[in-house]
């Protein structure tokens, strides 16, 4: 695209980085010219004059901003754990330009007026884009369904039973029917609570060593199988936080029957840790579904490589120090992940040679954006300039006290990771740059 030699106000040129766009397949050293919140052009490095502010990103990777489709921002009602403001600042520090907040707040995000109220807070406080995932049930009661069409009109991009799983096959079928009518994906929390009840971690050697009740892997896998039988109802089904080899196997067998209307995610802790981490990190490694055995970890990694698991999401679930200090039996489930997800993914998948950088960014950005119909996920001219600039070789030690999140409940504290976000731009504006939060 031809440009004037005089730089317009609001112009920015990222110079000399390795630009990677999984959506188009573009991968080259190039300059990215941004103006008025959008990408204007991407040309080989040095072929266009730097327009506006010139930012030298030589040696860094430039890619679409990360998109997290599974985040608990805790607002309204649980702001001692996290807020829209703190959660989105943690997000941009981790390279995320869009996060999708889950509805298990207080009150639940189950009515259009609550969605509109939350969007007002987002407009005031958020450092990045925040999309809303609504609750399929009213007041977390699986026998009372929310109004899917009204929730979509209020701004929801998907519906879910996360944290409050539907109980019967009839309820699951009705959820998919309602989502098909509304034209929304359904995100399923695969848990049979008759099998998981009382279990605080994976059932296995580590739970026996700690002397605590374990949770059978079948609690997830058996429930996933029930969901996967419902392929004739016309909705898009997305399985949340896959952690088990049996779930991966069931997913792989079901994919051909769903004709492109089935997808699934996992989280970095499931492909990087096993239940042995609970021996070290205690309640800060307690989440639901729990960390599994080595067999499950390897199965999740292989499914990410094959593409059967198409999305990496954080399941960022903040809790206060006081809540997590009550011991393994009493502490709530959940760990944070917005500020470590990229680094863990780079360390475990990219630097290990399992995934190339374009494939990794597809799972962290392009795929979730396309699944939910969101802006971003690509770098074509005219696209919104939501960008992540990544230093893939930066070695750093996780210090939870330095996080922008209100909470500190990470299983990665003290670990040395390789790779992190150097900069994050939302609509062409730096919100995080070289360790400094600008939002």
Q: Find the helix packing angle between 218-228 and 169-182, rounded to 10°.
A: 50
Which residue in 192, 296, 315, 386 is the catalytic one?
A: 315
Active site residue 391: no
**SS3 per-residue string spanning the chain:** CCCCCCCCCCCEEEEEEEEEECCCCEEEEEEEEEECCEEEEEEECCCCCCCCEEEECCCCEEEECEEEEEECCCCCCCCCCCCHHHHHHHHHHCCEEEEEECCCCCCCCCCHHHHHHHHHHHHHHCCCEEEEEEECEECCEEEEECCHHHHHHHCEEEEECCCCCCCCHHHHHHHHHHHHHHCCCEEECCCCHHHHCCCCEECCHHHHHHCCCEECCHHHHHHHHHHHCCCCCCCCEEECCCCCHHHHHHHHHHHHHHCCCEEEEECHHHHHCCCCHHHHHHHHHCCCCCCCCHHHHHHHHHHHHHCCCCEECCCECCCCHHHHCCCCCCCCCCECCCCCHHHHHHHHHHCCCCCCHHHHHHHHHHHHHHHHCCCCCCCCCCCECCEEEEEEEEEEECCHHHCCCCCCCCCCCCCEEEEEEEEEEECCEEEEECCEECC
Catalytic positions: 315
């Amino acid at each position: 695209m031809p440009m004037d030699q005089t730089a317009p106000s609001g112009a920015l040129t990222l110079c000399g980085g390795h630009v990677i766009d999984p959506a188009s397949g573009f991968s080259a050293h190039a300059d990215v010219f941004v103006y008025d919140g959008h990408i204007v052009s991407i040309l080989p490095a040095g072929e266009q004059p730097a327009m506006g502010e010139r930012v030298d990103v030589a040696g860094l990777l430039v890619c679409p901003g990360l998109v997290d489709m599974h985040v608990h921002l805790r607002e309204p009602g649980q702001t001692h754990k996290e807020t829209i403001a703190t959660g989105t600042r943690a997000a941009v520090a981790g390279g995320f330009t869009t996060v999708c907040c889950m509805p298990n707040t207080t009150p639940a995000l189950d009515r259009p007026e609550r969605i509109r109220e939350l969007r007002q807070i987002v407009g005031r406080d958020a450092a990045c884009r925040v999309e809303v995932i609504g609750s399929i049930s009213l007041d977390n009661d699986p026998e009372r369904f929310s109004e899917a069409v009204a929730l979509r009109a209020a701004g929801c991009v998907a519906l879910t039973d996360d944290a409050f799983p539907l109980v019967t096959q009839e309820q699951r079928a009705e959820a998919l029917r309602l989502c098909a009518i509304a034209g929304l994906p359904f995100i399923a929390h695969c848990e049979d609570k008759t099998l998981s009840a009382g279990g605080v971690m994976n059932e296995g050697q580590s739970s026996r060593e700690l002397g605590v009740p374990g949770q059978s892997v079948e609690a997830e896998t058996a429930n996933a199988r029930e969901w996967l039988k419902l392929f004739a109802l016309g909705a898009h089904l997305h399985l949340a936080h896959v952690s088990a080899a049996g779930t991966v196997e069931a997913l792989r067998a079901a994919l051909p029957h769903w004709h492109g209307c089935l997808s699934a995610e996992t989280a970095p802790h499931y492909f990087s840790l096993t239940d042995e981490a609970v021996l070290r990190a205690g309640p800060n490694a307690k989440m639901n579904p729990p960390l599994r055995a080595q067999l499950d970890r390897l199965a999740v990694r292989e499914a990410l490589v094959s593409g059967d698991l198409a999305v990496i999401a954080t399941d960022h679930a903040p809790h206060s120090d006081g809540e997590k200090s009550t011991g393994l039996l009493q502490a709530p489930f959940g760990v944070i992940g917005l500020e470590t997800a990229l680094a863990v993914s780079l360390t475990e998948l990219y630097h290990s040679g399992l995934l190339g950088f374009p494939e990794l960014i597809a799972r962290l950005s392009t795929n979730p954006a396309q699944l939910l119909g969101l802006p971003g996920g690509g770098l074509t001219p005219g696209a919104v300039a939501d960008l992540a600039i990544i230093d893939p070789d930066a070695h750093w030690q996780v210090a939870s006290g330095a996080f922008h999140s209100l909470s500190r409940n990470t299983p990665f504290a003290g670990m040395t990771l390789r790779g992190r976000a150097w900069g994050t731009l939302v609509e062409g504006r730096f919100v995080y740059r070289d360790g400094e939060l600008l939002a």
